[in-house]
Structure 1
Amino acid sequence: MHTKVQSMSDGYLEHVNVTVKNLDQTTKFLLTAMPNWRIRGRGKMDWFGKEVHWLHVGTPSSYIALQSGGEGSGLNWKEPQVGIKHIGMVVPSLSALIDRLNAAGYQVDHLGASHPHRKSAYFIEADELQFEFIEYLSTVAEERNDYTR
């Protein structure tokens, strides 16, 4: 069975590449959060003289590219360093996601701001990467994308 690939007419984000310390832990977190996602591919490579393992996890049209070999700490989202503060993903049910992640031992770091057309929760996984999960409560783009509240 073939899955239809997203249209290119508007462009879309295909992937983001993130280096992690523990590839298995981050993959477990993502697959728990997004149970419809799958591992699209994996392998190993020489990365500037260091062997690293890589893994692509997501859907047929978008994914997160994870690479092992990370060192140090993730960015503190409360501080002004340059870099990715969080990765946002849309989910059909925020409460179901929170329940799944809580059952697997992950706790909400904080909830997003109150808004009539969306709700969100932030989690920080083992490598200190922050993920925002958003449930939209409207199908109207102007309501979903209202930033005045």
Structure 2
Amino acid sequence: MIHLEHINLVVSDINKSLAFYQAAFPHWQVRGGGEGQWYGKPRNWLHFGDDYNYIAFNDDGVGENRDLTGHQVGLAHFAFVTDNIDAVIERLAHAGFEIAKDGAEDEYRKNIYFIDPAGYEVEFVQYLTDMPNKRNRYDLD
């Protein structure tokens, strides 16, 4: 079996990014961090997660993230599954983060999108069924 262990995000401010993800994942913690060099440029790094999954942050980012309404090559978004999307929305709102866009209406799932402080689009989805054929419906006609 293969599963995703971590994603590595280049940001300009680890603390601002961390505030977003701490609100979304209150059960995660800072696993470790440090300083280093990346191709001659100094950077700080930090791992935030649990014993099995984490997000790696590096603070040597410059410039703006890609235009999420455009067609540039790059990351469009990434998603996390939750069993309580309303609680995620409430925690992020309490921390000062607004919903960027609503997800599609579907009787078998709820989803929502936020933009994190580094400009990455993050989706949260709650499935309302355990049946894969209903969770993963596609209009292929």
- Normalised to the residue count of structure 2, the TM-score between the two structures is 0.93
Deviant stretches of 4+, over 4 Å: none
Q: Distance in 1 between matches of 2:3 and 2:22?
A: 22
What is the match of residue 20 of structure 1? Answer: 11
Residue type of the alignment partner of 1:148: D
What is the match of residue 110 of structure 2? Answer: 119
What is the match of residue 48 of structure 2? Answer: 57
- CA-CA distance at 1:141 after TM superposition: 2.0
Q: Distance in 2 between matches of 1:143 and 1:64?
A: 29
Identity among equivalent positions (%) equals 35
- CA-CA distance at 1:50 after TM superposition: 1.2
Gaps of 5+ in 1: 1-9
| C-alpha contact 1:42 1:54 (8 A) present in aligned 2 | yes
What is the match of residue 129 of structure 2? Answer: 138
Residue type of the alignment partner of 1:68: D
- CA-CA distance at 1:142 after TM superposition: 2.1
Gaps of 5+ in 2: none
- CA-CA distance at 1:88 after TM superposition: 0.6
Residue type of the alignment partner of 1:143: K
**1:96 equivalenced with 2:87 (yes/no):** yes
**1:66 equivalenced with 2:57 (yes/no):** yes
- CA-CA distance at 1:58 after TM superposition: 1.6
- Normalised to the residue count of structure 1, the TM-score between the two structures is 0.88
Total equivalences in the alignment: 140
Q: Distance in 1 between matches of 2:78 and 2:66?
A: 12
